Structure 1
């Protein structure tokens, strides 16, 4: 349209009809423009969608139009052009907040592939459509590819791996992570890899790998191949025998993979594994244990072994042994000098051997005549299902009487049954030892005789030809061949010879018993007063010549104070002869007495007693001896104690290197009670002059009556100790009891010596170690002697020149000691007389010794000595340097005898100072 026309139109007046017409035209043009802009959109965007089978998908169709209200008939059409119905797997629904429709497809299938169309009508005339292509693919799926597979050794096997995929997948294989292709051992096929012959190397992992190039999908499956090995016997079952009623086992062991299973079948193919009471199968070894075997178990037994690779079996025979049983065995009797026999029958499978064994012997009889005694014969035979043996003894003797065991023996064991042979014989009094008896004062007495006989004998008693059956003073009792009469000798007519007469069907015999009248014993021949202390007297007795016909049973003493009369109940003590008891009439109590000879105790010191003595037997006390008077000593220190120890060559050895327990018995106290014991000991060594002190003295007190033992500790190993033991009361000390003790070698030192002897044996051609050591000691001794000699020369020079030095000091001390000796002796004598003693409980009394050291020999060779201040020191009174002069024999390392080494008197040497003894 030109400009002029536009201008004309604009300038032309417009009518109302024209305005409406123009408006309608403009609306049409607008509607046409909106119809051309309307369309449907499918989300997800894109014309092609690929999804795997089994997946879920949702498609959304939305309308993009100017006026959504003008859209109608919105729906989804499937690949076949038909509207998709609503179902469980495929369904559709409208959008709530917008114009559109949603399509749901669950579990996609291959048939769901194709073009899907969303269709709608816009403005009632315009049809709108949108399309999408859905492609379903099949992912890699393992249809037949178990992760655990098994193959049998030596056989072909295919490792299965069947894969399903769309598009199809490509398959390759790996073994232990290393790829492989078809070769002599493996053949790769569509459904797996074929192993031509399975070996143990194939017991491993195979990998089946699948890939799809078009989709880029990759999957692999690791397959464990386990190679099974068929069972093979390691130990086959063998024929076995088991004793009836006992247990046993049968072996059946095999190898294989997996572990084989064992099944045992009896002769009737019954599974023995099910009878768990008597049959037990070891699942690991296959052993069949049979308990309480029965006769019905006998027969063939089969062992079946199987696993997943195969099975094997083996049969063996089970033999059930029947134990032997003695079914018939009877006692027998015979007469001495004639013949007797025993017959024994026994059963068993196998048939047993039968023999005999006499009680008290060790070796059974053998078939036939016995070499040790041709009177005895054994015959054996078979009687049907029984084994039989017959024992025959000719010329029967009494020693043949007794038990005879019948012994039946086979592989199942032994069976023993006892039978008895009784030998009949006439009476005999060989085992009746009684030949005399004693009685007195109408005391009852039993006279017994025992007659051996089979059958038992009838016994009668006679005195001087008179049958005693009806004598009222005699009671008779008979039992099992033994007869006893109890006699009451009311007068002398019942003393005499009694005759016991035994009779049976085979003979008779008699026994004589003399009944004598007993008396009290005669007077003692001698009484000795062995030892007298302040409170005790030790006696020894010589018995009487006439014991009254009975043994002396005791010795007795009666005693009283001098001047008193013998009353009806004097003080008395009785000692049982041969026993350890005495009876005190003073307190009527039986006491234990282990002292021999006999000791009378609890007497008063310094008192005069009168004594008389008698012997005693069952009749009573004999005649008392004439009176003897003795005065008891005054109170004094205790007697010497007795050390309880086992000595060898007068030396006690202890098995311990560092300790010893000293034991002793308390001595008589001599009128005053013992309050303690003193133990003193010190080591000694051997010299040419005897034993001398070689170490520290140890002294201790042991309270009494609390103890009669003391343990010495911290001793030196392999050392000789001298030990003194003294008892103490208020008066003083007893004489010392002495022993020498050798301690054992230290165990470590002994082991070291043994080790050195083992490692370094002596060479016979070279000097011995002891010789070398002795040579060394000699050299050292010479050097020491030279030095001592030089010192003595210098000291003597000082003495003579300036009156100084050790020699001068010793000489001056010796003079002072001589002047003081008499007063010291007088003091000790006074102590002895008064019965008192000053005693240091802790150690030996000490005395003050003053030693002066001054400048000496200022102008002599000893001028180098320095002047020292005056010193006062306590020095222990030295113990005797030597044992008495009569101890000259040395104690060697091998503990030689010490002659006269230890005195047992009050004059013996002691380690205690100022002892009252």
Structure 2
């Protein structure tokens, strides 16, 4: 036993052990070791009692006893289901476990483990449990606030057992009681709070006997009572308009503003017309009313205090029209409007007719002596009266009553209604059409005040009780729906309008419509292997209704029309193109016009044989040209768009795009760069983006469609790229059409002397020419005189000389025409190209079709004639 105790190096919990002769080695052991245990309140603890005996089978009545000597609840039997303290038997050894949950101060004391060995030997072990109360912050909020200039206690109440010692720090520096702070049991009293107290205080608690140490960091925020920066002042606002009142104060925390009206009602709650800016305290008043006038109080408060200030709100009364009634009068008689208005000061009142700019003046109007305005005062109101004599229909309308004073203007509209007898002047309907019992609406609109009663008649018969006619009338307009079941319902319908001032009538002719007559002419305009484009001249007789469509029926030659031929219908004024025909096939066609009644008579049959399969038609380039040139806003790219043409019986497999730069010369356009040729698959695309173009350059573009038979005629355009933005910004420009290009190795300044010399030479030549002409006319001498004299001698020299001069004249004329800017060409200039040039196809033609369209026919793969015309000087 001594050996075991020395090995464990801890005292065994053996408080009292009873020995029986012959059994001294039997004992009880409590774990954890130690006779005294100290635990904080609220903790959980477990104590294990084990028997160390020679024969564990002989131990009985093993139990735990509390400080009061009573048995503790046995968890094995269910006695301790709801108890904090219970015991359970060890499963793997001889012993018993004691559980104590949520230690309380009352749980302190001596706990005993007791057992009986060999039925006669009593074994016991004891442990002393001491509970302590840890440092607890009972009243020590981490956020506290104090009011500037007033005393305040920073609260810190601590509970601990054993008691704790408290000391204080401010911003990490300890302090004791002084003139500013008084340390008390429940906190630190600040005699008079200053802004320096707006900081962190630390309340530190320590227990020497247990070694506990805790601190609480308390943020003290110093609040400052509000103080006015801007007090509210008396304010005037025009009635119906908006304004504001100022009220601003300082304080900490930021103060809250409340505005109270003369009845002490909180204006902050009325968000409809009053708005308070929570940051500045400004009160915004929207649509001020007379009842808003009175004292307005600004109340400013925060957690440190509150202040208030009163100002007076004056609402200026704008003029108001209090009475203005509409008036009615009969055409040719007199009518008057009376307008009454209030305001302070009393307003001036006048009238303005809608659609005019100048109000009426007091008295008789200079522009119309039928109109008179007079004014008067009726108590607290200003009154004006507008009188119009000899009423006309043009006098009907709105008249504004305008009241003005210093507060502003007020306008109210009144209406003069001019009563007059009915009139059908605005009824455009003169005739209508129907057929095969189709319903038709006939409408009469009678202008009248008051509204007129409208009756309908047919051949003198009142239609009110006719079951085949429905009548609908609304607001002076009457519509009858006629079902012409027989010819008696066609004829002249008369609508009669009547009111208290007179009557009027209007006639509408109902005619029977029919299908249109035969077409006057059908033209086969454009024919390809699979399409035909038609043009029609409509029939002489449209049946009374507009032609709305043209139709074609077509069949194979040899078929009969009764076997449901194919048919195509086109609305009027669209391209009349018949597609999907078979090449080298004979078709028969007949045509008809259509209106709402139906199709007219079919024309005489026409037979036509479709052309054989061929290369596609020329594609159409989609581009906007100006002076035969398309401009792109980009200096280096252009997207070419086109529409696919008819394929002439074989599908188009691709389009070929070819383009190259050109330069303008007096002889025309000449190629100025490498030709680029590419294929665009179809039907995948009908567009192609040209990249890496040169800035400020003209390109010639050709587009051809291809099928198994060959290429179409090319569609062609000229493209001008934009100038390089970088070059323009540097003050330089590039051009794709230079007449002469200076060598980069020669500075531009070296060419200036040559230009000056050229100008001088030109001036000298011009002076010599003037002198020579003068010599010719005055002295009959000079170079011109010699040339003219020789020319006169050669006139009679015979036929051979005449032919020679004629040939010279032809040559000069030819040269002049060649360099005439492209306007006339007897012998157009043809550019010569190397025979080994792989790009010797797809070049430009000289006729006008070169812009957007190519020649009408050309064999596939045939090289294009590279013949150019000079372009206008503005390119």
TM-score normalized by structure 1?
Answer: 0.52
Distance verdict in 2 for CA 1:101–1:732, change over 3 Å: closer
Question: Cα deviation per residue 1:792-820 (whole Å; 9 max; x = unaligned)?
Answer: 99999999999999999999999999999
Distance 1:492 1:272, change over 3 A: closer
Distance of aligned partners of 1:484 and 1:893 in 2 relative to their CA distance in 1, 3 Å threshold? farther
1:243 is displaced (CA, Å) by 2.8
In structure 2, the residue matched to 1:524 is 519
Identify if the C-alpha distance between structure 1 residues 174 and 828 changes in structure 2 by more than 3 Å, giving closer, same or farther.
Answer: farther
CA deviations 1:549-573 (Å, max 9, x no partner) are: 2222211111111111111632111
Pair 415,86 (structure 1): closer, same or farther in 2 beyond 3 Å: same
Partner of residue 714 from structure 1, selected from 670, 677, 692:
692
Secondary structure, counterpart of 1:798 in structure 2: helix
Shift of 1:39: 66
Q: For residues 339 and 271 of structure 1, do their structure 2 counterparts lie closer, same or farther at Cα, with a shift above 3 Å needed?
A: closer
Distance 1:785 1:682, change over 3 A: farther
For the residue of structure 1 that corresponds to 2:727, the secondary structure is helix
- 1:472-491 deviation line (CA, Å, top 9, x unaligned): 44333322222222333344
In the aligned structure 2, how far is the partner of 1:689 from the partner of 1:390?
85
**Equivalent-residue separation in structure 1 for 2:90 and 2:341 (angstroms):** 109
- 1:628-673 deviation per Cα after TM superposition (whole angstroms, max 9, x unaligned): 1110011111100101111011100111212212111111111112
Are the equivalent residues in 2 in contact too, given 1:432–1:451 (CA < 8 A)? yes
- Provide the rounded CA distance (Å) in 2 between the counterparts of 1:674 and 1:70: 112
The offset of 1:347, in angstroms, is 3.1
C-alpha deviations, 1:67-105, integer Å up to 9, x for none?
999999999999999999999999999999999999999
Which residue number corresponds to residue 187 of structure 1? 182
Q: CA offsets per residue over residues 611-633 of structure 1, 9 Å max, x none?
A: 11122222222222211111001
> Do the aligned residues in 2 keep the contact of 1:680 with 1:911 (CA within 8 Å)?
no
Q: Secondary structure at the match of 1:825?
A: helix
Q: Measure, in 2, the Cα distance between the counterparts of 1:703 and 1:780.
A: 59
CA 1:121–1:237: 2 relative to 1, 3 Å: same
Q: CA deviation at 1:542?
A: 1.1
Question: Does 320-329 or 87-96 show the bigger shift?
Answer: 87-96
SS in 2 for 1:837: helix
Q: Following the alignment from structure 1 to structure 2, what is the Cα–Cα distance between the partners of residues 605 and 769?
A: 65
Report the 3-state secondary structure (helix = DSSP H, G, I; strand = E; otherwise coil) of the residue aligned with 2:213: strand
Q: For 2:183, what is the secondary structure of its paired residue? A: strand
- Do the aligned residues in 2 keep the contact of 1:244 with 1:294 (CA within 8 Å)? yes
Asked if 2 retains the 8 angstrom alpha-carbon contact of 1:837 and 1:916, the reply is no
| CA distance 1:826–1:722, change in 2 (3 Å) | farther
Give the Cα separation in 2 of the matches to 1:704 and 1:298. Answer: 82
Cα deviation 1:434-472 (Å, max 9, x = unaligned): 111222333332222111111222222223333333334
Aligned partner of residue 800 in structure 1, secondary structure: helix
Matches within 5 A, 1:84-103: none
- Post-superposition offset of 1:607: 0.1
Any conservation in 2 of the 1:520–1:619 contact (CA below 8 Å)?
Answer: yes
Q: How many Å apart are 1:376 and its aligned residue?
A: 3.0
For the structure 1 residues 730 and 111, does the alpha-carbon distance in structure 2 shift closer, same or farther, using more than 3 Å as the test?
closer
Q: Give the counterpart of 2:110 among 109, 112, 115.
A: 115
Q: What SS is found at the alignment partner of 2:21?
A: helix
Question: Is the 1:651–1:895 contact (alpha carbons within 8 Å) kept by the matching residues of 2?
Answer: no
Range moving further from structure 2, 668-677 or 347-356: 347-356
- More displaced stretch, 603-612 vs 355-364: 355-364
Under a length normalisation based on structure 2, what TM-score does the superposition of the two structures give? 0.54
CA shift digits 1:414-443 (9 cap, x unpaired): 544443322111010001111112223333
Structure 1 residue 319, shift from structure 2 partner: 2.7
Structure 2 Cα separation of the partners of residues 565 and 49 of structure 1: 123
| Contact 1:686/1:892 (8 A) holds in 2 | no
Q: How big is each residue's C-alpha offset from its partner over 1:173-217, in whole Å with a ceiling of 9 and x where there is no partner?
A: 999999999999999999999999999999999999999999999
Comparing 707-716 and 224-233, the one that deviates more: 224-233
Report how far residue 145 of structure 1 moved. Answer: 34
| Secondary structure of 1:786 counterpart | helix
Aligned match for 2:643, one of 660, 665, 677: 665
Alpha-carbon distance in 1 for matches of 2:261, 2:669: 91
Deviates more, 1:432-441 or 1:209-218: 209-218
Contiguous gaps of at least 5 residues in structure 2: 1-11, 77-83, 815-822, 831-839, 843-848, 860-872
With over 3 angstroms needed to count, the CA separation of the structure-2 counterparts of 1:238 and 1:47, relative to structure 1, is same
Identify the match of residue 633 of structure 1 among 596, 611, 615: 611
Counterpart contact for 2:39–2:132, Cα < 8 Å: yes
CA contact (8 A) 1:85 1:91 kept: yes
Q: Is the 8 A contact 2:716 2:850 kept in 1?
A: no
Once the two structures are overlaid, the 10-residue window that deviates more, 412-421 or 524-533, is: 412-421
SS in structure 2 at match of 1:242: strand
C-alpha displacement of 1:387 = 3.0
Shift of 1:789: 31
3-state DSSP of counterpart to 1:26: coil
SS in 1 for 2:732: helix
Provide the residue aligned with 1:467 in structure 2. Answer: 462
Tell me which of 840, 854, 859 is aligned to 1:909: 854
2:378 aligned with 1:383, yes or no? yes
Q: Distance in 1 between matches of 2:767 and 2:98?
A: 137
Distance 1:572 1:125 in 2: 128
Contact 2:663–2:738 (CA<8 Å) still a contact in 1? no
Identify if the C-alpha distance between structure 1 residues 679 and 95 changes in structure 2 by more than 3 Å, giving closer, same or farther. Answer: closer
Residues 794 and 498 of structure 1: CA distance in aligned 2, closer, same or farther (over 3 Å): closer
Secondary structure at the residue paired with 2:23? helix
Match of 1:705 among 683, 701, 714: 683
Secondary structure in structure 1 of the residue aligned to 2:730? helix
C-alpha separation in 2, matches of 1:480 and 1:597: 45
Range with greater deviation from structure 2 (130-139 or 285-294): 130-139
- Report deviation, 1:535: 0.3
Q: State the Cα distance separating 1:734 from its structure 2 match.
A: 1.1
Q: How many angstroms apart in 2 are the aligned matches of 1:123 and 1:671?
A: 123
Deviations 1:134-186 (A, max 9, x none): 99999999999999999999999999999999999999999999999999999
Q: Is the 8 A contact 2:374 2:385 kept in 1?
A: yes
Paired with 2:310 and 2:416, the residues of 1 have a C-alpha distance of 52
Note the alpha carbon deviations across 1:575-629, whole angstroms, 9 max, x for none.
1xxxxxxxxxxxxxxxxxx995411111001100011112222222222221111
Q: Deviations over 1:476-507 (max 9, x none)?
A: 33222222223333443333222221111111
Alpha-carbon distance in structure 2 between the residues aligned to 1:773 and 1:765: 10
Native 8 Å contact 1:302 1:313 kept in 2: yes
Task: Answer yes or no: is the 8 Å Cα contact 1:321–1:350 preserved in 2.
Answer: no
String of CA shifts for 1:702-745, please: whole Å, max 9, x gaps.
22223222222222111111111111222222111000000111
Deviations 1:30-69 (A, max 9, x none): xx99999999999999999999999999999999999999
Cα pair 2:13 2:30 within 8 Å, conserved: no
CA 406–821 in structure 1, closer or farther in 2 if over 3 Å, else same: farther
Shift of 1:510: 0.9
Contact 1:732 1:916 in 2 (8 A): no
Cα gap change, 1:176/1:24 in structure 2, threshold over 3 Å: closer, same or farther?
closer
Deviation at 1:241, TM superposition (A): 2.1
* TM-aligned CA distance change 1:767 to 1:330, over 3 Å: farther
TM-align CA RMSD: 16.5
Q: Is the 8 A contact 1:429 1:509 kept in 2?
A: yes
Distance (whole Å) between structure 1 residues aligned to residue 381 and residue 364 of structure 2: 23
Q: Relative to 1, partners in 2 of residues 1:558 and 1:331: Cα closer, same or farther, differing over 3 Å?
A: same
1:511-530 per-residue CA deviation (whole Å, 9 max, x = no partner) reads 11122232322221211110
The alpha-carbon distance between structure 1 residues 324 and 911, as it changes in their structure 2 partners (threshold 3 A), is same
Please say if residues 15 and 126 of structure 2, whose CA atoms lie closer than 8 Å, have aligned partners that are also in contact: no
Partner Cα distance (1:247, 1:717) in 2: 61
Q: Deviations 1:86-127 (Å, cap 9, x if unpaired)? A: 999999999999999999999999999999999999999999
Does structure 2 retain, via aligned residues, the 8 Å contact 1:649–1:895?
A: no
**Is contact 2:17–2:124 with CA below 8 Å preserved after alignment?**
no
Q: Residue 58 of structure 1: which of 46, 63, 70 is its match?
A: 46
Greater mean alpha carbon deviation, residues 756-765 or residues 35-44: 35-44
Equivalents in 2 of 1:109, 1:22: separation in Å? 23
Report if aligned partners of 1:731, 1:837 keep a CA contact under 8 Å in 2: no
Whether the aligned pair in 2 keeps the contact of 1:724 and 1:911 (CA below 8 Å) is no
Structure 1 residue 316, shift from structure 2 partner: 8.7
In 2: Cα distance, 1:630 partner to 1:818 partner: 64
Looking at structure 2, the residues matched to 81 and 491 of structure 1 have their Cα atoms a distance apart, in angstroms, of: 127
Deviation at 1:342, TM superposition (A): 2.1
Distance in 2 between residues matched to 1:123 and 1:729, nearest whole Å: 120
Of stretches 521-530 and 701-710 in structure 1, the one that deviates more from structure 2 is 701-710
